[in-house]
Amino acid sequence: MRIIEDMVCPFCGCLCDDVILTIENDMIIAADNCCTVGNAKFLGKKRLKSPIIKKDGVWEQTGYDEAIQYTVDTLLDADRPLMFGWSGTHGEAQCIGIHMNELIGGVIDSTTSVCHGPSILAIQEVGHPGCTLGQVKNRADLIIYWGCNPVEGHPRHMSRYTVYADGYFLQNSFKERKVIVVDVRETETAGIADEFVRVKPGGDFAVISALRAIIRGKGDIIPESVAGVSREQLVRVAELCKTCKFGALFFGLGLTMVKGKYKNISNAIELVDELNRHTKFTLTPMRGHWNVYGSNEVFTWMTGYPYAVDFCRGVAFYNPGETSAIDILARKECDACLVVASDPGAHFPRACVEHMKDIPTIVIDPFQTLTTTVADLQIPVAVTGIDAEGTAYRMDGIPLKVKKALDSNYPSDTEILSKMYEKMLEVQWQ
């Protein structure tokens, strides 16, 4: 039996890097310090043993070489290939994905387009007053969770960085930090808040604007109630924000994927800007998929754009709403799809998934997912953080080196994609 410390959890954007793994007979038998979600990933046993291919509607096992060749042929034959996913894999594999996509003139998109794409659009418009989670842990005496529910979505966020995490300037965090939760329903996170602000669905933009007005000293123009929130509570919340020493606003899909979309986020950034005239205040998107932040970094430093990048003109082109995966699939535009380390079959609209079923769809993923059911080929790979290593970015933009705990026979995403890329180059040079 051996113990490995300081492992990085491969599940959500918190990238908890204090996991202790117990290994016996080349198997992980325990993952300490991990939440139940992370535990399920570390201890997951339902991995495919070898690539599987669908022939006449029946799955058959196939070899890695055949699977790689099938993928290369499919992508090279396609007029408008789509490569989607990338959030569950390491940055090195994402790099190769970009190179492949540029070579074949396809569209490459990550799960960003269905989660925090609007946050990026807002940040491009008005900037990002962000900071590291370490700064939040050590300094923030006011935490706001807006449209997110970390108790269920990021189970250790509060114990590692906010509510329960003692910091350098907060020796008794639970008593010294105030917590505000803003949501349309009373979530479990709302249950531990000092102030729960219940907003009517679609009313976030109005509430943010009201808070900005109050902080600007224009509270007298605020009506009795804004989107279901009383003026009295708005004034109380504004006062809490103005008088804290360091405030940190975290927000989730309850703000990005509702009415208002990126305008909600740019308004929230303006609110944080307003608050910085009185105190220190920061804003951080609660990135969900593990290395989704890394996909934005890698895409940006390689193409100039963070997601939904279209190479059909030979140069990178970016127009979310047109070049994002859902739009391409909904218009039935792509004629082949490669899904890497994500599960659009579980999250995309029905029409998009139906189109994936109608075209050749290839999945590179360690586990069978709902996308497998509409795919023609699945290639199992090593899991970064378990039997593959690489680089991943935490939700605050901090890159972490992710070690592996086991040696296995599974190739990593980088190995599989490199072989595909080499074969594509060979065809191009012929």
CB 382 within 8 A of CB 411: yes
Measured from the CB atom, the residue of 256 and 291 that comes closer to ligand SF4 is 291
Positive or negative, the CA dihedral 48, 51, 53, 59 is negative
Is there binding between residue 16 and ligand SF4 (CB under 6 A)? Answer: yes
Residue 155 or 411: which CB sits closer to ligand SF4?
Answer: 155
Determine if 156 is a binding residue for ligand SF4 (CB under 6 A). Answer: yes
Is 35 one of the binding residues for ligand SF4 (CB under 6 A)?
A: yes
Per CB under 6 A, does 363 bind ligand SF4?
Answer: no
Positions 158 through 197 that interact with ligand SF4 (CB under 6 A): none
Q: In the complex, what is the shortest distance from the CB of residue 34 to ligand SF4, in angstroms, rounded to a whole number?
A: 5
Q: Which stretch binds ligand SF4 (CB under 6 A): 32-40, 111-119, 225-233, 247-255?
A: 32-40
Choosing from 23, 37, 151, 192, the residue that interacts with ligand SF4 (CB under 6 A) is 37
How far apart (Å, rounded) are the C-alpha atoms in residues 248 and 136? 7
Of the candidates 7, 21, 28, 34, which one interacts with ligand SF4 according to CB under 6 A?
34
**Residue 151 binds to ligand SF4 (criterion: CB under 6 A):** no
SS3 content of the chain, % helix, strand, coil (to 5): 40, 25, 35
Minimum distance from CB of 145 to ligand SF4 (Å)?
Answer: 14
Only segment of 126-134, 150-158, 201-209, 326-334 that touches ligand SF4 (CB under 6 A): 150-158
Q: Counting contacts by CB under 6 A, is residue 12 touching ligand SF4?
A: yes
Shortest Å distance, C-beta 154 to ligand SF4 = 5
The Cβ-side half-sphere exposure at 20, using a 13 Å CA radius, reads 5
Q: Is residue 11 involved in binding ligand SF4 (CB under 6 A)?
A: yes
Q: How far is the CB of 175 from ligand SF4 (least distance, A)?
A: 23
Rounded to an integer, what is the distance from CA 60 to the centroid of its chain?
32
Q: Which is nearer to ligand SF4, 151 or 240 (CB)?
A: 151
Structure tokens at 40: 């399920």
**Residue of 69, 256, 282 whose CA lies nearest to 161:** 282
DSSP secondary structure string for all residues of 55-97: ETTEEEE--HHHHHHHHHHHHHH-SSEEEEE-TTS-HHHHHHH
| Residue 74 C-beta: closest distance to ligand SF4, Å | 33
Q: Cα separation of 415 and 93, whole Å?
A: 8
Q: Is 140 in the site for ligand SF4 (CB under 6 A)?
A: no
Q: State which H helix or E strand residue 345 sits in.
A: helix 344-347
Nearest-angstrom CA–CA distance, 133 and 293? 14
Q: Does 9 bind ligand SF4 (CB under 6 A)?
A: yes
Compute the distance between CA of residue 199 and CA of residue 181 in angstroms, rounded to an integer: 10
List of residues contacting ligand SF4 (CB under 6 A) = 9, 11-12, 14-16, 34-35, 37-38, 154-156
